[in-house]
Amino acid sequence: MSTAPAADVEVHLGDLGFGRGAHLLVQRALAGLPPGGRVAVSGRDPALPVHLPAWCRGRGHRVEWPDLGDRSDLVAVVVRGTADDDRWFGAERAGPALPSALSSRPPARWGLGARGALLEAGGPEARFDLDDRDLVWADVAPHLYAQAAARQWDPQTAVPWDDPFALPADVEAAVVQVMTYLVENEQAALVVPARFVGRIHPHFREVVQLLAVQMADEARHMEVFNRRALLRGAELGTSSAGGRQSLFTLVAESDFALASFLLSVLGEGSFVDLLSFLHQNAPDPVTRRVCWLAMQDERRHVVFGMAHLEHQAQLDPRLRDRLRAAIHRRHDALADTAGLNADVFDALVVLAAGGWHPDDVSTGFDRVQALQHAMDQGRQRRLVRLGFRPDEAAALSALHTRNFM
């Protein structure tokens, strides 16, 4: 009379074969046993005598075939080996999974592993030069990423492209000129984070995710500004050499903190004021809407830039010296350029004027000057938050590029 073989666990596979997932049941049974533990496996798949031992050999387990007489289903005993344990000898966790307990300087061997995962020893050492928590992190990053992901908008449906409106040709030309300027600036605002996102250690993935969404924001802004520019015509406006030179100084900055400072704190901070101005003075519903949508995104970019630099400034008292030097260096590089494209300035006056009576133009000019003052005051406030004295903040703000971004 046959008896069941001695085993700690029994697994009945029925007709399930290894080609359709039977190994998962055997693997599950073995997982709870120490080396030397025994699992009795029974099944009716004709290929089981071939597939079971082959699978076991590949994973370091041993198979025994006890004599069970006239039993109709095949029964084998799998004896757990040590290969699985040996594989994970020397493995380590890639830090904690939650962002509340980040490693201050994750090693290169963690680079391409998911944060918090158990990493098998022997993988590649992926080098990410921005691997210092204090250089890239801000505690608000996870929240900002969640907010940014939830507030993505579709350029096709979020803007009333088909709303009827008709503008005088000269007003439409002013809109086209401003949109051209905005496209150029958003191109630079996309390129700057793109230069850094591949250098940040993935351990700080919320920052990488946030910058990736920021790049997507800028791509959308470029699309809607370009689309508005071509909504009633086939050509864009003018592009000044000085304006492009100003943007080039942003793209050329290789230091993450300084690039964030010049772009987000000074440039995009001023841009938020500009987009608010355009929203208020837009002559048509499409222009008004695209400026409002872009403004919401740009505010989030400024929040991260400020939070990142405030965090770093608390830990590195020399940061302000570097920020100050960056402003002076950029000012000197742009000293011989014309600054803001005159066509852009005039277009802003036209939009703010709302008419061609001398009094209207005078009002438009005053409003653009008020915009520039508001930009300056905003930069000063942000500089003070970073630890600059009010008088120095005023002096440094005055050195900011006349191209706004």
**Segment 207-237, tens digit of pLDDT:** 999 999 999 999 999 999 999 999 999 999 9
Residue 4 is assigned to a structural domain of this protein: no
Alpha-carbon distance of 117 to 151, in angstroms, equals 30
Residue 1 is assigned to a structural domain of this protein: no
pLDDT value for 70: 63
Number of domains in the chain: 3
103 and 14 in one domain?
no
Residue 3 is assigned to a structural domain of this protein: no
105 and 159 in one domain?
no
67 and 103 in one domain?
no
115 and 66 in one domain?
no
Q: What is the pLDDT of residues 153-212, one digit of tens each?
A: 999 999 999 999 999 999 999 999 999 999 999 999 999 999 999 999 999 999 999 999
114 and 60 in one domain?
no
34 and 69 in one domain?
yes
101 and 57 in one domain?
no
108 and 65 in one domain?
no
pTM above 0.75, yes or no: yes
160 and 37 in one domain?
no
Domain that holds residue 54: 9-86
Q: What is the pLDDT of residues 310-334, one digit of tens each?
A: 999 999 989 999 999 999 999 999 9
Which residues share a beta bridge with 77? 40, 64
Mean pLDDT across the stretch 2-10? Answer: 77
| Closest by CA position to 351, among listed 278, 290, 299, 275 | 278
pLDDT value for 405: 87
Longest dimension (CA), the chain: 113
- The stretches of 339-401 forming alpha helices (DSSP H) are 342-353, 358-385, 390-398
DSSP per residue, 161-228: TT------HHHHHHHHHHHHHHHHHHHHHHHHHHHHHTTB-GGGHHHHHHHHHHHHHHHHHHHHHHHH
Alpha-carbon distance of 167 to 233, in angstroms, equals 12
Q: Is the pLDDT of residue 1 over 50?
A: no
Two tokens, residue 322: 């570097």
Two tokens, residue 152: 């993505």
Mean pLDDT computed over every residue of the chain: 94
| Closest by CA position to 159, among listed 291, 286, 280, 292 | 286
115 and 58 in one domain?
no
27 and 116 in one domain?
no
328 and 396 in one domain?
yes
Q: What is the pLDDT of residues 123-158, one digit of tens each?
A: 899 999 999 999 999 999 999 999 999 999 999 999
Kindly report the backbone phi and psi dihedral angles of residue 40, in degrees, each rounded to the nearest multiple of 5, phi listed first: -85, 125
Q: What is the pLDDT of residues 61-113, one digit of tens each?
A: 999 998 766 666 778 999 999 998 899 999 999 999 999 999 999 999 998 99
